[in-house]
Amino acid sequence: MVPPLVLDIDGTMTRPDDSIDPRFFDLLPRWDAPVVIATGKAFPYPVSLCHFLQIPELVIAENGGIVLVNDDITRNGDGDAARRVANAYEGAGYELGWGKIDLTNRWRETEIAVRRDQPLGPLSELASEYGQEVVDTGFAYHVKSSGVSKGMGIKSVAELLGRDPEEFVAVGDSENDVSTFGVVGESYAVANADEKAKRAAGTVVEESYSTGTISILEEIRERSDE
């Protein structure tokens, strides 16, 4: 039997051009165990991805701020505090960096994302003042509640599914995957992962992005068939 999975999206299920690798649309619906999509993206993105992949809606969104297991939704982060940090940051003359419409934060409920080309120092200082913290996912700076993480999310998912977190295999590429790697039984970082993710992972594979992730899943399936 194959183990349950925890998969990050950006840099893990995507190709270098940020598109989802279409091979997952054949691979994941046939995975005979739960597949959890764990991401820093706003809640609607992983829910939509599950829909189009045609897999059950098992989601950890906004770096653990929201957990969805089928019809059960848990919100862990303080979105109001994160928005106060964003307002103070803009009031100090900085920008979130996404333009007037800001589709990155439009549907975000428990945190705020800031483009990585914006100043990090003042953002971190303001976050601390409001009891928040900043995590760098490699794609954005995320202002979120202290202690909220993907790892906390997978513990919640596992409990709701009646599973032990150590049954899960996780694949990721970023600092925000470190907490996940710390609670699952088996963890992999793809070759494009940042140094924190590589140090935390049980194994770092040679292949990058989605190709690395698919190679991991194929190896797991072969091992499970033996």
pLDDT band at 224 (very low <50, low <70, confident <90, very high): confident
Measured at the CA of 164, the angle between CA 158 and CA 165, to 5 degrees, comes to 65
Q: Mean pLDDT, the chain, as a whole number?
A: 96
pLDDT at 226 over 80: no
What is the 3-class SS of 112-134, one letter each residue? EEECCCCCHHHHHHHHHHCCEEE
Say what the pLDDT of residue 54 is. 97
Percent with pLDDT over 70 in the chain: 100
Q: Taking residues 48-71, report their average pLDDT.
A: 96
Say what the pLDDT of residue 79 is. 95
136: annotated active-site residue: no
Say what the pLDDT of residue 71 is. 87
Say what the pLDDT of residue 25 is. 97
Distance CA 162, CA 35 (A): 14
pLDDT at 225 over 90: no
Q: Which among 115, 98, 139 is positioned nearest to 11, based on CA atoms?
A: 139
How many other C-beta atoms lie within 10 A of the C-beta of residue 185? 14
Strands 58-61 and 66-69 turn out to be: antiparallel
Say what the pLDDT of residue 70 is. 84
Say what the pLDDT of residue 168 is. 98
Measured at the CA of 75, the angle between CA 73 and CA 79, to 5 degrees, comes to 140
Of the listed 8, 10, 177, 194, which one is catalytic? Answer: 8
DSSP letter string, 8-44: -STTTTB-TTSPBPTTHHHHGGG-SS-EEEE-SS-TH
Residues 167-205 pLDDT 10s: 999 999 999 999 999 999 999 999 999 999 999 999 999
pLDDT at 51 over 80: yes
Strand ranges of the sheet holding 66-69, from the earlier edge strand across to the other edge: 72-75, 66-69, 58-61, 35-38, 5-7, 169-172, 186-189, 203-204
